[in-house]
């Protein structure tokens, strides 16, 4: 799964990198976050009539049919292998796909025979952003008897991150990883219509090992209240944990 990630690139840099035509005000005013947690606002790239749009959604998908938005607390990730068939995700998988930019993400390794867990920062060796594959939804509170309906703009927009099996590099610490989209696949993924038969599965595959550098970092990241650039600094891993990787492999185009 992916339960924490890094979002430090300025909105203007993200807009240029992902060729966004517009930036929502909420994104433009957002602060860098080295320890982004579920339930918080995250930058999301989706298709709009004017082109790609960078917006701010809450992390944790709330389906349109949900009675209560708290369901989003358990829907921060969606397994790509079942997203097209599960009621919570299948409508979004068909026509509401998005990209969540991230400068890296965290995963934890449980040391055998010990209670300790070593956190790792996973990032690109060239430090460019990842393009997480996501699904988004919008939710309105159910109408109550005798209550005036809310306006069309009073909606909660939420997002979930798709996961797939780990590549070899990630497999050293965990068996799952986020789906990382290549630039050549962005247009197809963001298109607001159902993908061609079999394409969803073809796009939701493990990323090349050369895109995933593993860096042991401080256990401070275990608490989402901890923020700051120091969380990204390398540390000596706990005894029994893998040393990480150095990112020397070439980055695919």
Q: Looking at the annotation, which residues are catalytic?
A: 2, 107
Cα separation, 12 vs 80, in Å, equals 30
Cα separation, 165 vs 119, in Å, equals 19
Phi, psi (deg, nearest 5) at residue 162:
-80, 140
Structure tokens at 196: 């061609």
The partner residues of 120 in beta bridges, in order of sequence, read 107, 216
Strands (E), the chain: 5-7, 22-23, 33-36, 41-48, 51-59, 77-79, 97-102, 104-110, 117-123, 130-139, 156-165, 176-178, 213-216
Edge-to-edge strand list for the sheet holding 104-110: 33-36, 5-7, 104-110, 117-123, 213-216
């Amino acid at each position: 799964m992916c339960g924490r990630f890094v979002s430090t690139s300025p909105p203007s840099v993200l807009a240029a990198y992902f060729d966004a035509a517009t930036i929502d005000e909420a994104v433009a005013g957002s602060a860098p976050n080295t320890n982004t947690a579920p339930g918080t606002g995250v930058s999301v790239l989706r298709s709009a009539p004017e082109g790609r749009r960078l917006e701010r959604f809450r992390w944790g998908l709330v389906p349109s049919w949900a009675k209560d938005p708290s369901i989003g607390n358990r829907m921060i990730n969606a397994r790509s292998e079942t997203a097209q068939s599960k009621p919570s995700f299948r409508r979004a998988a068909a026509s509401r796909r998005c990209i969540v930019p991230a400068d890296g993400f965290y995963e934890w390794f449980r040391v055998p025979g010990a209670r300790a867990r070593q956190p790792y920062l996973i990032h690109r060796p060239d430090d460019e952003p990842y393009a997480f594959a996501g699904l988004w939804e919008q939710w309105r509170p159910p109408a109550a008897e005798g209550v005036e309906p809310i306006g069309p703009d009073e909606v909660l927009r939420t997002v979930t991150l798709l996961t797939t099996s780990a590549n070899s590099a990630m497999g050293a610490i965990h068996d799952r990883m986020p789906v990382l989209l290549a630039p050549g696949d962005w247009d197809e993924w963001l298109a607001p219509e159902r993908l061609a038969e079999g394409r969803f599965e073809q796009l939701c595959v493990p990323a090349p090992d050369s895109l995933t550098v593993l860096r042991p970092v401080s256990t401070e990241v275990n608490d989402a209240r901890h923020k700051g650039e120091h969380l990204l600094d390398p540390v000596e891993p706990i005894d029994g944990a893998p040393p990480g990787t150095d990112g020397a492999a070439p980055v695919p185009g």
